[in-house]
Amino acid sequence: MKFFVDTAEIDQIKELNDLGMVDGVTTNPSLIAKSGRDILEVTKEICSIVSGPVSAEVVALEADDMLAEGRKLAKIADNIAVKVPLTWAGLKTCKTLTDDGIMVNVTLCFSANQALLAAKAGATFISPFIGRLDDLNMDGLELIEDIRTIYDNYGFETNILAASIRSANHMSECAKIGADVCTAPPNVIKAMANHVLTDKGLAAFMADAEKAGIKIV
């Protein structure tokens, strides 16, 4: 499973990228606003750091306007994936951009039917939002499983990009279900390394090393 980092913070992207933990980046208007930088400027910098897909989202609502914004974003770098919402206008934009050879990430997916439409429109990525479904007492992971089944049934090549990841458990569960990609905030990716027994075992090793006077250098 590929890891995308869900942020527009350059330092965080660089840190994870240097460790080989970044296969791509996803951004959205909220993350861009949080960074406090111009969308074109910060997206260009991210594309220069990461070789994999970098999702940059349109802010228009009508298909013609989405298309114009998408084409402008796509000119930033070859690894741009234009992000469009899962609306009818977004699907129209997806089909046109895909036909032009531009990667498209269809976002804000909350049902298997929506995911099926995105695949038919030629989306490169479909972004089902796990955490937001969980917030409504619905099973976000079940949606990932349903999409995986449908895509495998018919050989759709659209990548399942699990989004709205809230925990390290979401990451491992998505991997078991068969999500192609998970996009998560930096703190969630780092939390995957944590385990109480690792901390306990390390504390015991360090205590024994100090007691025995063990030194390596």
Q: Which residues are known to be catalytic?
A: 83
Structure tokens at 148: 């995986």
Exposed / middle / buried, residue 55 (Cβ in 10 Å: 0-12, 13-18, 19+): buried
Beta carbons of 76 and 47 less than 8 angstroms apart:
yes
Helix axis angle for 112-120 and 88-99, nearest 10°, is 30
Up-side HSE of residue 117: CA atoms within 13 Å toward CB? 20
Residue with tokens 């504390």: 203
Residue ranges in 36-139 assigned as alpha helix (H): 39-49, 63-74, 88-99, 112-120, 130-135
Burial of residue 157 (CB within 10 Å: 0-12, 13-18, 19+) is exposed
CB atoms within 10 A of CB 152: 10
Count CA atoms closer than 13 A to 72's CA, side-chain side. Answer: 13
Amino acid at 156: F
Report the alpha-carbon angle 18-171-33, nearest 5: 65
